[in-house]
Structure 1
Amino acid sequence: MEEKELILLLKQSSKDAFTALYKQYWKQVYNFSRLYLTSVDAAEEVVQEVFIKVWETREFLRADDHFKGLLFIITRNLIFNQHRKSLNEDFYKVTVLAALEEPYDVEEEIEANNLQEYIDRLIDELPPRRREIFNLSRKEQKSYKEIALLLDISEKTVENQISEALKYLKKNITLLLLFI
């Protein structure tokens, strides 16, 4: 049976067409995966995920499209996602290990607390509306749009108030650091 016919049948949820396409292409997808993945298990997992995606999106397939090309695009994307996930996990592990190896510095902790108290005092010195907007943004993690809706002001006003608050804080923190 021709590939186009198989794709048309696959679009109609034919398991036989899916099996035929799988048998025809799984080895090529696997070999392509092995070029970028060192683990046999990881490559086999990618092959499974590729064909799961094909099954899940079968109704969007077009018989005129280059099916093999589609498989390799899906495979490439899955490999990139797997690499990205692996890099993030490795970075997390290295960060945790580095943190465990660093000695705990009580003086540094006290200095950090003092700086935080100083910043809190500076925030308290802001004009009331600016302080409210700044706290909604930084402490409550609200977006400019959410703040604008909540306070019935424009997003541009929110942006300007945050900008002015940050300028004030930076100026005063810089002055503090100059005298330390």
Structure 2
Amino acid sequence: MENPNHQSWLAQLQTDDRSALRTIFDAQYEDVCRVIFRFVHDPGLSEDLAQEVFVRLWEKRRDIHIDSNLPAYLRRMAANEALAHLRKKTRYLADELPTHLPGHTTAAADEQYEATELSGLITRAIDGLPPRCRTIFQLSRFEELTYQEIADQLELSIKTVENQMGKALKILREKLGGYINMLL
């Protein structure tokens, strides 16, 4: 359920009130960091990317039209920021790979490469879901909404939400095989 203060904070933010940004930051920073950490598994990087989320919120303050509640919107921004970082990192790593890799790469480099590859695989699998399945999956897993909250927000029956989540999970299991437990 939307906190009435959230709409007030957004209204203040859109009138260039920096104290509103500080209030939103104080109230939502830890939640934004948690969402990002689930993607990048690095506390310092999570904090850096969380700050970027709030910088973007400030930069786009006049253009923001939130259909869901503020925390859900920020969680979505956080997930997008983390995924964008991982995509950029994957491209950078691919560009930096030498044409001939020495036989003794470090375990950490191997793990990093696998993590970025997995992130790309997961992103492509989620993007490949049918639109309604993708929206419901993202609201459930990234914005941490309950099925009832999703049903209310999308004006669907809870049974439809359950069916669409089942369909999304089935498709993701087929596409991701053994990696699915890392996502869910």
TM-score (norm 1): 0.50
Report the alpha carbon displacement of residue 93 of structure 1 after superposing the two structures with TM: 2.8
Aligned equivalent of 2:58: 55
Q: Gapped runs of 5+ residues in structure 2?
A: 104-184
Q: Deviations over 1:84-136 (max 9, x none)?
A: 11112222233x151789xxxxxxxxxxxxxxxxxxxxxxxxxxxxxxxxxxx
Count of residues in correspondence between the two structures: 100
Look up the SS of the partner of 1:58 in the other structure: coil
Matched, 1:71 2:98: no
Report the alpha carbon displacement of residue 43 of structure 1 after superposing the two structures with TM: 0.4
| Partners of 2:54 and 2:33 in 1: CA distance | 11
- Return the structure number with greater helix share: 1
Of structures 1 and 2, the one with the larger relative CO (CA 8 A, separation 6+) is: 2
Matched, 1:17 2:23: no
Against the structure 1 CA distance between its residues 87 and 17, is the aligned structure 2 distance closer, same or farther, given a 3 Å change threshold?
Answer: same
Aligned equivalent of 1:124: none
Matched, 1:29 2:43: no
Aligned equivalent of 2:175: none
Aligned equivalent of 2:100: 98
Matched, 1:44 2:47: yes
Against the structure 1 CA distance between its residues 14 and 91, is the aligned structure 2 distance closer, same or farther, given a 3 Å change threshold?
Answer: same
| Partners of 2:12 and 2:28 in 1: CA distance | 17
Q: Which has the larger radius of gyration?
A: 1
Aligned equivalent of 2:121: none
Q: Gapped runs of 5+ residues in structure 1?
A: 102-180
| Partners of 1:65 and 1:9 in 2: CA distance | 18
Against the structure 1 CA distance between its residues 75 and 64, is the aligned structure 2 distance closer, same or farther, given a 3 Å change threshold?
Answer: closer
TM-score (norm 2): 0.49
% identity of equivalent residues: 16
Is the contact made by 1:4 and 1:64 (CA closer than 8 Å) also made in structure 2? no
Report the alpha carbon displacement of residue 23 of structure 1 after superposing the two structures with TM: 0.4
| Partners of 2:80 and 2:89 in 1: CA distance | 14
Query: Which amino acid in 2 is paired with 1:98?
Result: H
Look up the SS of the partner of 2:45 in the other structure: helix
Query: Which amino acid in 2 is paired with 1:77?
Result: N
Query: Which amino acid in 1 is paired with 2:63?
Result: F
Look up the SS of the partner of 1:36 in the other structure: helix
Matched, 1:6 2:15: no
Aligned-residue CA RMSD (Å): 2.2
Query: Which amino acid in 2 is paired with 1:67?
Result: L
Runs of 4+ in 1 over 4 A off after TM superposition: none
| Partners of 1:92 and 1:63 in 2: CA distance | 37
Report the alpha carbon displacement of residue 80 of structure 1 after superposing the two structures with TM: 1.1
Report the alpha carbon displacement of residue 73 of structure 1 after superposing the two structures with TM: 1.7
Look up the SS of the partner of 2:62 in the other structure: helix
